[in-house]
Amino acid sequence: MENLNFAINNVWMMLCIILVFIMHLGFSLLEIGLTRAKNTINILFKNVMVIIIGILTYTLIGFSLMYPGEIFAGGILGFSGFGIPLPENGLSPEYAGGNYTFYTDFLFQAMFAATAATIVSGAVAERIKLTGFIAFAIIYVGLVYPITGMWKWGGGFLDELGFYDFAGSTLVHSVGGWAALIGIYLLGPRIGKFGEGEIKVIPGHSIPLSTVGAFLLWFGWFGFNGGSVLSANPAATSLVLVTTCIAASAGGLSAFIFTRLRYKANDLSMVLNGILGGLVGITASADVMGIWDAFLIGAVSGILIVLSVAFLEKKKLDDPVGAVSVHLTCGIWGTLAVGIFGSMAGWGQLLSQVIGISAVGIFAGLTSYGIFSLLKRLKELRVSEQEEIEGLDVHEHGTAAYAELKYE
């Protein structure tokens, strides 16, 4: 029976790895659909490179930084060596309480690591140099993400303080969201986005692709949150899947209603981001929330999406896909919600959540500012005006995604 449970748990975790992997296809389609056709190959190329970089950097150094075993410097840092050496019991039921093998553990976490940089890809789309983005992704995924992840999931100081983040509203989504915010600030807006006293809408070239991407992300989130149970426990897994799905639905519904009331428009892209905002919002607490808690978290997330997008545009911060609003705004909200709703609600827990959000925000913000500033100084951040106008596909890749179309 022990071996059977071990096999069932491990198969579930491997299935979740596949689901999280599919999310990268979802991000790719969402981003290209919400941006212009002339930059399609460039965005797809970045997303392909992110998963490659994520897996390799996590193999080389990231996993050992995130789960070092021995932690020093007051719970801020730890490192167990380069590579992923297999422990003696790594493939047996003795590892991780018989829930999964060492290699399954590693690969599940590697899928998460790449997500942080994928979030940034959409925000800085259509004007960042390919070499600059790749350099950023290597450093951010290889060093920044695993260090902040260790603070909670690896037994660091936030874990000791009682900070709670079930599947990464802060440790994955806000980490990517902070970098996205710093990136769009230092890059500046796309040409023509903001004129004198007006905000120009730059429509994406394929809302159908964006819709497919959003559905793939929703689909993959069942593995993102469901796998974070770290076993196939029926009660825990079913609760997580239900709260995840309800929050997503509530986020899409509230974004639809609020957008219609505020702008008198039925905006599909806003509904799609409302769904994603609900998913991000529930990610911190999907295992400790009830049905109505999940609904409220998702509903608030959908409204925050609309308000956040408007606020960023008012401040002339150009985010083509709404990544900052989805992943940072709703990531912060979802993390705070742990102390407001559900079985962990209380002032003490809320204070722990605020400390965790602040610590991660300061570290992620400063490090991403340093990386992007260095790239800007080296002239490796933004493409030229001509390249941006004519499209990054032609200039960065020498070809076009849709050869039969004339691009604007």
Please give, one letter per residue, the 3-state secondary structure of 193-212: CEECCEECCCCCCCHHHHHH
Q: What's the number of domains the chain is made of? A: 1
In a domain, 407, yes or no: no
In a domain, 208, yes or no: yes
**Nearest Cα to Cα of residue 312 among 201, 181, 177, 204:** 181
129 — phi, psi (to 5°)?
-70, 140
Q: Domain span at residue 120?
A: 2-397
Structure pTM? 0.95
The whole-number pLDDT of residue 2 equals 66
**Nearest Cα to Cα of residue 396 among 27, 38, 26, 29:** 38
SS3 81: coil
The whole-number pLDDT of residue 309 equals 97
Interior angle at CA 132, CA 129 and CA 133, nearest 5: 85
CA distance 88 to 271: 49
Q: What percent of the chain has pLDDT over 70?
A: 98
> Six-digit token pair at 303?
């409204």
Neighbours of 82 (CB within 10 A): 10
In a domain, 194, yes or no: yes
CATH of the domain at 16: 1.10.3430.10
In a domain, 275, yes or no: yes
188 — phi, psi (to 5°)?
85, 170
The whole-number pLDDT of residue 408 equals 53
In a domain, 312, yes or no: yes
In a domain, 82, yes or no: yes
The whole-number pLDDT of residue 93 equals 87
Those residues with Cβ within 8 angstroms of residue 197's Cβ, 6 or more apart along the chain or in another chain: none
Q: Which residues of the chain have pLDDT under 50?
A: none
Residue whose tokens read 């995924």: 141
**Strands 71-72 and 194-195, sheet pairing:** unpaired
The whole-number pLDDT of residue 231 equals 94
In a domain, 406, yes or no: no
The whole-number pLDDT of residue 4 equals 86
309 — phi, psi (to 5°)?
-60, -45
Burial of 33 (0-12, 13-18, 19+ CB in 10 A): buried
In a domain, 408, yes or no: no
pLDDT digits (tens, 9 = 90+) for 44-96: 999 999 999 999 999 999 999 999 988 888 889 999 999 999 998 999 888 88
The whole-number pLDDT of residue 74 equals 82
The whole-number pLDDT of residue 179 equals 97
